[in-house]
Amino acid sequence: MTPKKNPIYIYGLHTCNAQLKLNPTNIKNIYIKKPPFNNQIKSIINEIKKNKLQISEVDKDFLTTLCLSAKHQGIIFELSENITSGFDIDLFLQTEPNPFIVILDSIQDPRNLGSCIRSANAAGVSLIVKKKSNSCEISPLVHKAASGGLQGLSLLEVNNLPNVIKKFKKNNITILGTSDNAPMSIYDLKPIDSGVAVIVGSEGEGVSHSLLQLCDDTCRIPIYGSVECLNVAVATGIILYQIQKNIKKIK
């Protein structure tokens, strides 16, 4: 007997609106808090009707129970399939000549994970590779923090990151690690004329030693104040935008 898959929920005005605009066909069920509706909900309802989707009006407590959070803003979408399913890494490498990739090594906090995804989307990343075990799952809270960031990019969850990194290297993709102890600053990076994959480590441990050994180079964000390091989500945004700046130099 095939095990029943857990429902996939996203919630919040911005996240649901992004899903509706980018991929309405993936929306299975829509739950909205009973009237009165605010203007933002009314606007989303108009878009829902344009796409000829059905709405279930429910109590606030039902929404809270469904997504395990009180921060749903009165709206929840159930998706018809997992956003991570069906990804073919070989096809991706064949069709993306110079991919911009982020590899997330054991991010634990869902808000950090969501923020990293949001920054990756904004910086023009085409693929996020996420460690599946010992890592936060793609939960409704992650979707909320990502604010629609999972729409428009590919996501691959794997347990064996070294194998994926080795495949990238065989396809002429530069592997760039991040470490507080790296000798080179991100501002000293040279222009990148091929694909690049950036490895970002967990909140406490950083990038694992085994993955750093596979990197073509490592870099750090210089710290000018008294703090030892930056939050992983903040650091990810800084690093990705600096790399994007270097990629654009050769276009």
**Domain check: are 195 and 114 in the same one?**
yes
**Domain check: are 65 and 144 in the same one?**
no
For position 134, what pLDDT does the model report? 86
Taking a C-beta distance cutoff of 8 angstroms, is the pair 101, 173 a contact? yes
SS3 134: coil
For residue 197, what are the β-bridge partners? 101, 175
Q: How many domains would you assign to the chain? A: 2
**Domain check: are 144 and 46 in the same one?**
no
**Domain check: are 41 and 118 in the same one?**
no
**Domain check: are 56 and 146 in the same one?**
no
The tens-digit pLDDT sequence of the chain (251 residues) is 444 566 788 888 988 888 888 778 889 999 999 999 999 999 999 999 999 999 999 999 999 998 888 889 999 999 876 554 457 788 788 778 889 999 999 899 999 999 999 999 999 999 999 998 888 888 888 988 888 888 778 899 999 999 999 999 999 999 999 998 899 999 998 888 889 999 998 888 889 999 999 999 999 999 999 988 889 999 999 999 999 998 855 43
Domain boundary among the residues 54, 79, 104 is at 79
For position 251, what pLDDT does the model report? 39
For position 81, what pLDDT does the model report? 62
pTM for the full predicted model: 0.74
Q: How far apart are CA 15 and CA 54, in angstroms?
A: 18
For position 1, what pLDDT does the model report? 43
Whether 66 is in a domain gets the answer yes
In this structure, the chain runs to a length of 251
Instruction: For the beta carbon of residue 145, count every other beta carbon within 10 angstroms.
Output: 22
For position 188, what pLDDT does the model report? 93
Query: For the residues of 153-172, what is the DSSP string, one character each?
Result: SEEEEES-HHHHHHHHHHTT
Q: The domain containing residue 144 runs over which residues?
A: 89-248
